[in-house]
């Protein structure tokens, strides 16, 4: 079981989004993959994944390339066992170039609160180091740090 469980309310959907954000900010592929069903299906940009092992391998590759990764997710909509989020994250490459990625995700959960489907659309652009907005220490975004709406993103 991965509470909160569907059907979602505004409060439980908001909590589920923050739990996902915190997990992704841990940058621990094995732990993040446990939030998905064993046969979870993903579309991430143009890549299609199936199952926890493919998800964990994808995340391992992602965070090996996307250094100093920091993410903010925000609830967009919810209904029954589905949640839609928007997000932004910042990272640098191994040459020190910074990027901000923007995207939307559609999530579908099973009755145990595990995500069985994730559909993500993502765009990114280079940013100057001075344009960074996500400057907390690596890991969980601190309470009181502005979200996407407060940052004008």
Summarised one tens digit per residue, pLDDT across range 21-67 is: 999 999 999 999 999 999 999 999 999 999 999 999 999 999 999 99
Q: What band does 20 get if pLDDT is binned at 50, 70 and 90? A: very high
Contact (CB, 8 A) for 35 and 20: yes
Length of the chain: 153
CATH node for 10-86+105-121 = 3.10.450.50
pLDDT of residue 42: 97
> pTM of this prediction?
0.97
The whole-number pLDDT of residue 111 equals 98
What are 61-106's pLDDT values in tens digits?
Answer: 999 999 999 999 999 999 999 999 999 999 999 999 999 999 999 9
pLDDT at 140: 98
Tell me, what's the pLDDT at 134? Answer: 98
pLDDT of residue 66: 98
Supply the pLDDT for residue 82: 98
Domain boundaries, the chain: 10-86+105-121
């Amino acid at each position: 079981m991965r509470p909160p469980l569907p059907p979602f309310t505004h409060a439980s959907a908001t909590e589920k989004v923050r739990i996902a954000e915190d997990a992704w900010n841990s940058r621990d592929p094995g732990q993040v993959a446990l939030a998905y069903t064993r046969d979870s299906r993903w579309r991430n940009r143009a890549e299609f994944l199936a199952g926890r092992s493919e998800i964990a391998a994808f995340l391992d590759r992602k965070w090996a390339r996307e250094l100093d990764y920091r993410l903010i997710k925000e609830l967009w909509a919810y209904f029954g066992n589905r949640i839609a989020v928007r997000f932004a994250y910042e990272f640098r490459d191994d040459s020190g170039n910074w990027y901000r990625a923007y995207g939307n995700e559609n999530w579908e959960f099973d009755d145990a609160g595990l995500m069985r489907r994730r559909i993500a659309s993502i765009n990114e652009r280079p940013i100057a180091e001075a344009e960074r907005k996500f400057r907390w220490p690596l890991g969980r975004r601190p309470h009181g740090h502005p979200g996407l709406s407060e940052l004008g993103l």
